[in-house]
Amino acid sequence: MMKLTSTSFTNGGKIPGEFSFCIPDAAHHVCLGKNINPNLDWSDAPAATKSFAIICHDPDVPSEGSDVNQEGRTVPAALPRVDFFHWVLIDLPATLNSIKEGEFCSDVTPRGKPGPQSLHGSRQGINNYTDWFAGDNDMRGDYFGYDGPCPPWNDEIIHHYIFTVYALDIEKLPLEGKFGGPEVRAALQGHILAEASLSGTYTLNPRLPG
């Protein structure tokens, strides 16, 4: 069975602030974090593996944003939630079994990092900060690669960040140009030989534990 571990955080535990887009700030609720991509180590992939893909997503993002980060209001726990993709990475070579801390991202890049071409001959998709900052003149752009947690500081729930590595029977996924999490999920179908996941938690709400 394929396994995925990390030295950056424990499975099911809190993700440290250095791996986050935002960290708590007493004066302004939040400020920018170091935004370092965490370490990932995987093992026991099938012998027929020809490439790997990685997806990190948060399934706890509010489906409606009118209360998000608004003074005197909270994002209710009962609000339906949707996926927010933080990292989409494809075409990693079959010889690779590890990603180092900070190898793909080591800071916050206004307007986003370049892509899709990346290290080890891989390609990175755009994450959902592309959508989040679309109306911000200072920050809007195509956010390729990893950008870490920054959940609403007034959300009533702790968010979960799920990292999944997929072992594939194809060297390069049939995707062109810019692509995001939904496109990669669709392209993976029929090519997955094995997969492994781990998750961490994160909150910016000082009223919540962790």
Q: Are 95 and 52 in contact (CB under 8 A)?
A: no
pLDDT in tens, 39-98: 999 999 999 999 999 999 999 999 999 999 999 999 999 999 999 999 999 999 999 999
Q: What is the pLDDT of residue 126?
A: 98
CA 201 to chain CA centroid, nearest Å: 12
Residue at 196 is within a domain = yes
Domain count of the fold of the chain: 1
What letter represents residue 64's amino acid? E
- For range 160-174, the mean pLDDT: 98
Q: What is the mean pLDDT of residues 164-174?
A: 98
What is the three-class DSSP state of 117? strand
Helical H runs in the chain? 129-132, 181-188
Q: What are the distances in angstroms from CA 171 to CA 20, 34, 50, 90, 113? A: 31, 32, 5, 9, 24
Residue 209 belongs to some domain of the structure: no
Q: Is residue 21 in a domain? A: yes
Model pLDDT for residues 101-132, shown as the tens digit of each residue: 999 999 999 999 999 999 999 999 999 999 99
Structural domain including 160 reads 3-202
Q: Which residues of 40-59 are buried (b: 16+ CB within 10 A; e: fewer)?
A: bebeebeeebbbbbbbbbbe
Q: Report the candidate in 44, 20, 43 with the shortest Cα–Cα distance to residue 31.
A: 20
The residue whose two tokens read 């692509």 is 179
Q: Which pLDDT score is estimated for 209?
A: 85
92: which 2 tokens? 């990693």
For residue 64, being part of any structural domain is answered with yes
Is pTM beyond 0.75 here?
yes
Secondary structure of the chain: what % helix, strand, coil (to 5)?
10, 35, 55
In a domain, 208, yes or no: no
| C-alpha triplet 15, 19, 22: angle, nearest 5° | 95
- Is residue 34 in some structural domain? yes
Residues contacting residue 104 through CB under 8 Å, at least 6 positions apart: 37, 89, 118, 119, 124, 145, 146
**Does a structural domain hold residue 210?**
no
- Residue 176 within any structural domain of the chain: yes
- According to the model, what pLDDT value does residue 118 have? 97
Alpha carbon separation from 70 to 65, 66, 120, 209 (Å, rounded) = 10, 8, 42, 21
CB 102 within 8 A of CB 7: no
Q: Provide the CATH number for the domain around residue 30.
A: 3.90.280.10
Q: How far apart are CA 147 and CA 110, in angstroms?
A: 11
Please choose, from the candidates 112, 80, 109, the residue with its C-alpha nearest in 3D space to the C-alpha of residue 180.
112
Which helix (H) or strand (E) segment holds residue 43: the answer is: strand 40-43
